[in-house]
Amino acid sequence: MIPEAEVNISQVFDQNGLDINNAPEGETIRETAQRIIRDKLSERDVKAISRTLEETSPDTIITLSHLSRLRRELRTLNASEKIISATKNLETTKLSNKIQKKFSE
């Protein structure tokens, strides 16, 4: 089992530069998922959170792991498929799979 990752997602801004998420420093992925549900964040907001996870992760494999963990937490909280899908990034998935394939060879 993967230990709960702490990811800094405190600086996500909407197009107007307003802090739409007000996330505390070091918020865990589980806490992020809970906040998404509690605050009824929009699909656009969830995409912004996902982009921030991508930008703050040290590499592609970790990025995919964080996004997968966020999806798992959202499913546990019965989030809509629309919200869960907002966390997906096909390019990140392809790149991570390619890297992992190289490691396994």
Full-model pTM: 0.71
User: So where are the chain's domains?
Assistant: 29-104
* Number of C-beta neighbours around residue 61 at 10 A: 16
DSSP classification of residue 17:
S
pLDDT tens profile 60-70: 888 888 898 99
pLDDT tens profile 50-95: 888 888 888 888 888 889 899 999 999 999 999 999 998 888 878 8
**Do 37 and 79 meet the contact criterion of CB atoms below 8 Å apart?**
yes
